[in-house]
Amino acid sequence: MQRTAGALVALATAATAVAVVAPVNICASNVTIGTTIIAALNLTYPGLEAVAAAAGRGDLGAACDALAAYYLTSPTAAWLRVPPVAPGTGLAGGVADAIVFNDTFYLSGVSLTTHVPRNADGGLDWLWKGPDADVEAMNCLNRHDSFTELLAAWRATGNPLYARYFDALVIDWVTHLPCPDAQSAGAPCVPAGLPGRPCTWGPGAQACATGTMESPWRSLEMGIRMVGSWPTAFFGFQGAAEFSASARALFVLAVSEHNAALAVDGGHPGRGTENWEMTQWQGLVTS
């Protein structure tokens, strides 16, 4: 997914504060992103007829609206969907409030609470290694425990604040840390250091397919996201009006990137380590 300057500004603005509403529909406002999202779909899948029809007439905005509607009303993943949440204004306190009001995240993998700074464009610094410059802090930040913390807070209070912040996180992460080369032209890429087309994301061309010890796209983090926080939050927030069509569509695009990247076998740090391998393949199967 290539980001134009205009799209990046619009999306970064949406992620700057919880009070900012995401763009109405990123597929309508950015043809490159919209086309990439639609290309990632199997438009012959039952239930996606409205998506296919809109895409066929060149209406990318309507196609992504239909995609969002499909997931909202589909009976899929019933075990991950939650009962209707009554609107409220209360606060959950604890970790969720620290995230929403101060961009402070608890990273359970390293038992660290840290404020995550923002980049010049307003997005979170997802490469933040914490106060001790610990790469494992960055890896744990990108496991997205924050997604499930925000979901629990929204369910407990009905306060749209938590759903809105989740929406902004999704748009921010997917647009700043894409992994487009994992599925470019339908051909898988290969991990850095191996012959073939390397997998890259973002400025600096860091490896994304199975990842490095310095990448949010290393296989362990991808597997953890797909096994836990991502499906739980995606289906759990389906009833939240604040979960925008833009974020829903970008979420689906990112899952397709995970699918392609997780399918790359071998060549990554942790190769042969049972918990890495099991998490990688469990993540792919779950996705």
E strand residue ranges, 99-244: 104-107, 112-115
**Neighbour tally for 202: CB within 10 Å:** 18
User: Which tens digit of pLDDT belongs to each residue from 188-207?
Assistant: 555 444 455 554 433 344 44
Q: Where are the domains of the chain?
A: 5-82+166-286
Partner residues linked to 67 by β-bridges: none
d(CA 283, CA 20): 32
φ, ψ of residue 40 to 5 degrees: the values are -80, -10
In this structure, are residues 70 and 49 in contact, taking their beta carbons and an 8 Å threshold? Answer: no
**pLDDT tens sequence for the chain (287 residues):** 333 334 433 433 433 333 234 456 899 988 888 988 999 899 999 999 999 999 999 999 999 999 999 999 999 999 999 999 999 999 999 999 999 999 999 999 999 999 999 988 889 999 899 999 998 999 999 999 999 999 999 999 999 999 999 999 999 998 887 665 554 444 555 544 445 555 443 334 444 544 455 678 888 899 999 999 999 999 999 999 999 999 999 999 999 888 877 887 765 666 678 898 899 999 999 99
d(CA 139, CA 27): 30
User: Which tens digit of pLDDT belongs to each residue from 204-261?
Assistant: 444 454 445 567 888 889 999 999 999 999 999 999 999 999 999 999 999 988 887 7
d(CA 128, CA 260): 26
d(CA 63, CA 18): 26
What does pTM read for this prediction? 0.84
Classified as helix, coil or strand, 115 is strand
